[in-house]
């Protein structure tokens, strides 16, 4: 902690100058200190009351952890953080209907979304029903031909196959007309979802969604798999109350499937607070046991040879599950996660790994085009509230990834559309994905656009959404977004800051520091991993690696060194600054410390997120 203290900005330097004086970094950020002045006393109290190092106290206080919350925060357990499932609206109705299906051994169809959350949620229900010897089948719609959510043809097919109960997971909240059709045919529907809801809900047997307007459970931060787990807990409780379990069928050990819940929670980028922290912490422990046949095969196919972390869930396993839905068979992920067949698991895992490589190539080509279009648009209209770009040559499966990259680069909401090449019924439709920035609810804007008649359909979260639009109404949609958001994105971009937890030297970036940081994990959305600055360090041996990354070595005045890597920085302002400084030019460099064990190595390295030239501040 000594190095961190010495490198802090002097007290007489105004806050507006930025941490280390950085007001304009390579990425256009003003650096600021994560720990606000009003939380300093909390940091001290955390350290003193719980006997924790000062650095850990600062990290926790900066993330709004109070001294009283520390024990549960550092050791999040399901028992301590799980609410009574019945506090969610319609939970008891859903549990009773699922319990009925178990007792009657009713044929049940599971309709899931094609992303990681949908695959994990589908697998959770399928594994639960299999344990109870209930016949079931998973249906995942094709992203390209069917789009998001239940559709009439699929529902008719499932009923025709004999389904007496349909459970939708990670979708269904806005499918009013489609699900009404199931009811008219005498088939019950239970919706398990977490997406934002409208005032009008489908007329179904039960709709469990902590984000429906009449739900006051306070669990709106859960992903669909997190909600699904609560539904299964409630169903087991109901079956136990009925005296169902005995010698023939034992009570399922739901904890054994928390690896699926953890994967979905991280991949769906929901806030790592409350129950989500317990899901991920305990789910990683389950994952390390390698009991799930599909996840074990996928880890092996991806070359994951170390104890998995939240990083591996989000950047190694998650993208491979998603690859099937993006450019292959959308049902592959759910099949992999629900199977008990070793051979099938290996086959699917290898296929998903290959599809993920293909997805990267497709994404890179489309991203280069999208960035060029965005640069031109901003050159003509710098105050654009939303970047809206599209092409008939872009694969629908990667538009969400491209939108994320554009938002990251240009610090404003992005909408990326893949246009159909031909008209259907006189309409040339486009399928789009949107990503937002903190402070702008893009899901609400999309729902307003649907209500205003500018979209065929659409919905989503505050930070991510999807839409389908008639090309003839694109100008109307563009004007609507511009009016609705009214320049908020540009104002936010102008105030963009990068939060820094402290300043270090290479000698302080060691195993002990990483161990300390990991005590406050897992990190993710809403609980960011600590970020440290290395003031005026010389950049040595900077070189491109692969097609998009930059590797270098940071050297302090005392000669101590630290390996560093900047991902996707080649050809970008950050990469150009690092390359220009190679040879010894001092830079302020900021990023996250991690332990690199790839290929049997065991070293500490810095993942560079930003840098600044001290001479230009």
Query: What pLDDT does residue 5 have?
Result: 36
d(CA 334, CA 119): 4
Q: Which two tokens stand for residue 419?
A: 């246009």
Q: Tell me which of 3.40.50.720, 3.90.1640.30, 3.40.605.10, 2.60.40.1180 is the CATH number of domain 81-354.
A: 3.90.1640.30
Give the DSSP letter of residue 424.
B
> What does pTM read for this prediction?
0.88
Q: Provide the 3-class DSSP secondary structure of residue 56.
A: helix
Structural contact between residues 200 and 187, judged by C-beta atoms closer than 8 angstroms: no
d(CA 459, CA 433): 10
Give the DSSP letter of residue 479.
H
Q: Provide the 3-class DSSP secondary structure of residue 613.
A: coil
Q: Smallest Cα–Cα separation from 368: which of 325, 327, 398, 396?
A: 398
User: Under CATH, what is the fold of the domain 381-494?
Assistant: Diaminopimelate Epimerase; Chain A, domain 1 (3.10.310)
Q: Where are the alpha helices (DSSP H) in 14-110?
A: 40-50, 54-62, 70-74, 78-81, 91-104
Q: Kindly tell me the sign of the dihedral angle through the C-alpha atoms of 153, 156, 162, 168.
A: positive
d(CA 383, CA 484): 14
d(CA 265, CA 287): 14
Mean pLDDT of 226-251: 97
Q: Which residues pair with 470 in a beta bridge?
A: 429
Query: What pLDDT does residue 17 have?
Result: 76
Q: Tell me which of 2.40.50.100, 3.30.390.10, 3.30.300.90, 2.40.50.140 is the CATH number of domain 2-34+501-616.
A: 2.40.50.140
Domain segments of the chain: what residues? Answer: 2-34+501-616, 37-67, 81-354, 381-494
Query: What pLDDT does residue 613 have?
Result: 96
Q: Smallest Cα–Cα separation from 252: which of 227, 274, 235?
A: 235
Q: Provide the 3-class DSSP secondary structure of residue 187.
A: coil
Query: What pLDDT does residue 10 have?
Result: 35
Q: Taking phi first (over 0 means left), then psi (-120 to 50 degrees means alpha), and beta for anything else, what does residue 501 get?
A: alpha
pLDDT, tens digit (0-9, with 9 covering 90-100), for 543-567: 999 888 999 999 999 999 999 999 9
Q: Provide the 3-class DSSP secondary structure of residue 569.
A: coil
Query: What pLDDT does residue 12 have?
Result: 35
d(CA 273, CA 565): 29
Question: Which of 171-180, 455-464, 581-590 is least confident?
Answer: 455-464
Residue with tokens 């997190």: 226
What distance, in Å, lies between the first and last C-alpha atoms of the chain?
26
pLDDT, tens digit (0-9, with 9 covering 90-100), for 101-151: 999 999 999 999 999 999 999 999 999 999 999 999 999 999 878 888 999
pLDDT, tens digit (0-9, with 9 covering 90-100), for 595-616: 887 666 778 999 999 999 999 8
């Amino acid at each position: 902690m000594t190095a961190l203290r010495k490198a802090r900005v002097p007290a007489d330097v105004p806050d507006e100058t930025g941490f280390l004086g950085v007001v304009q970094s390579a990425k256009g950020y003003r650096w600021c200190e994560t720990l606000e002045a009003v939380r300093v006393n909390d940091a001290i109290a955390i350290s003193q009351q719980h006997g924790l190092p000062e650095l850990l106290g600062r990290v926790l206080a900066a993330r709004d952890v109070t001294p009283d919350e520390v024990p549960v925060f550092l050791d999040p357990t399901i028992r301590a953080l799980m609410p009574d499932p019945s506090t969610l609206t319609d939970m008891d109705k859903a549990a009773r209907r699922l319990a009925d299906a178990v007792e009657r051994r009713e044929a049940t169809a599971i309709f899931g979304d094609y992303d990681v959350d949908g695959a994990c949620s589908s697998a959770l229900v399928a594994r639960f029903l299999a344990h109870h010897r209930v016949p079931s089948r998973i249906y995942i719609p094709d992203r390209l031909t069917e789009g998001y959510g239940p559709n009439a043809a699929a529902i008719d097919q499932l009923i025709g196959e004999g389904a007496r109960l349909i459970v939708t997971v990670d979708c269904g909240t806005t499918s009013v007309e489609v699900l009404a059709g199931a009811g008219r045919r005498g088939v019950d529907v239970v919706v398990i979802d977490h997406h934002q809801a409208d005032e009008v809900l489908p007329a179904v047997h039960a709709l469990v969604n902590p984000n429906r307007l009449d739900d006051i459970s306070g669990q709106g931060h859960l992903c669909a798999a997190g909600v699904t787990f609560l539904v299964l807990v409630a169903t087991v409780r109901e079956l136990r109350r009925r005296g169902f379990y005995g010698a023939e069928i034992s009570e399922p050990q739901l904890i054994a499937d928390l690896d699926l819940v953890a994967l979905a929670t991280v991949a769906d980028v929901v806030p790592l607070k409350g129950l989500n922290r317990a899901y991920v912490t305990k789910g990683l422990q389950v994952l390390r046991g390698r009991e799930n046949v599909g996840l074990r095969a996928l880890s092996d196919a991806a070359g994951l040879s170390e104890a998995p972390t939240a990083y591996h869930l989000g950047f190694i396993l998650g993208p491979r599950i998603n690859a099937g839905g993006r450019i292959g068979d959308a049902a592959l992920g759910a099949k992999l996660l629900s199977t008990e067949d070793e051979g099938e698991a290996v086959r699917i895992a290898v296929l998903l790994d290959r599809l993920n490589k293909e997805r990267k190539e497709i994404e890179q080509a489309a991203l280069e085009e999208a960035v060029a279009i965005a640069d031109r648009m901003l050159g003509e209209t710098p105050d654009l509230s939303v970047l809206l770009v599209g092409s008939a040559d872009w694969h629908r499966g990667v538009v969400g990834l491209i939108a994320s990259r554009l938002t990251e680069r240009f610090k404003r909401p992005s909408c990326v559309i893949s246009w159909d090449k031909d008209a259907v019924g006189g309409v040339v439709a486009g399928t789009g994905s949107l990503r937002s920035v903190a402070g702008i609810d893009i899901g609400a804007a999309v729902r307003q656009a649907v209500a205003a008649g500018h979209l065929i359909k659409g919905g989503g979260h505050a930070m991510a959404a999807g839409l389908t639009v008639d090309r003839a109404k694109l100008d109307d949609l563009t004007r609507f977004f511009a009016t609705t958001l009214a320049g908020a994105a540009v104002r936010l971009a102008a105030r963009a800051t990068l939060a820094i937890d402290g300043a270090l030297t290479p000698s302080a970036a060691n195993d002990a520091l990483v161990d300390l940081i990991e005590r406050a994990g897992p990190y993710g959305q809403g609980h960011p991993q600590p970020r440290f600055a290395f003031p005026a360090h010389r950049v040595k041996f900077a070189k491109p690696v692969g097609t998009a990354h930059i590797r270098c070595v940071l050297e302090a005045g005392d000669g101590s060194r630290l390996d560093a890597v900047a991902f996707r920085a080649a050809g970008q302002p950050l990469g150009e600054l690092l390359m220009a400084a190679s040879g010894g030019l001092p830079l302020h460099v900021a990023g996250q410390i991690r332990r690199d064990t790839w290929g049997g190595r065991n070293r500490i390295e810095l993942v560079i997120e930003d840098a600044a030239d001290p001479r230009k501040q």
